[in-house]
Amino acid sequence: MINIALHGAEFFAYHGFYPEEQKLGCRFLIDIEVGFIPQTDLYDDKLSHTVDYEKVYTIACEEMKQPRKLIETVGHAVVDRIKAQFPFVKTIQVTIKKLNPPLLGKVAYSGVTINYPLIK
């Protein structure tokens, strides 16, 4: 299996349960790892035979622009779109970290990790 990854993609977005979070926004970091088994010989050196991490980044950008109350919802949307764009993928892991969440004390980040396939 081959894995491609994006680590530390940074976004400013308006996700949060409370109206203030959706109004003020916050910084987020996203890590995405996608595993797949090549369907063809990778020695032919064609981008169409792999998972294009530029397209994965674009998916993350587009989903981060959609304000949502839960970062879990954002993570699931990213996973669903990667599966749709690259139906040959076997595993996807999306981690979203909300930097400096508005809590009573200092916290570096809160976060969520979404895995595909789901482990039950």
pLDDT at 119: 62
Is residue 90 flagged as an active site residue? no
Kindly report whether the peptide bond that precedes residue 38 is cis, defined as omega within 30 degrees of 0. Answer: no
pLDDT (0 to 100) of residue 45: 83
CATH number at residue 73: 3.30.1130.10
Could you report how far apart the first and last alpha carbons of the chain are, in Å?
22
The structure's pTM equals 0.92
pLDDT computed for residue 43 by the predictor: 81
pLDDT of residue 48: 79
Which structural domain range is residue 82 located in? 2-116
> How many angstroms separate the Cα of 25 from the Cα of each of 42, 84, 94, 104, 107?
42, 29, 20, 18, 17
Residue 119 exposed, middle or buried by CB count within 10 Å (0-12, 13-18, 19+): exposed
In whole angstroms, give the CA distance from residue 11 to residue 75.
Answer: 14
Choosing from 23, 90, 97, 98, which is the catalytic residue?
Answer: 98
How many domains does the chain fold into? 1
Which parts of the chain register pLDDT below 70?
Answer: 119-120
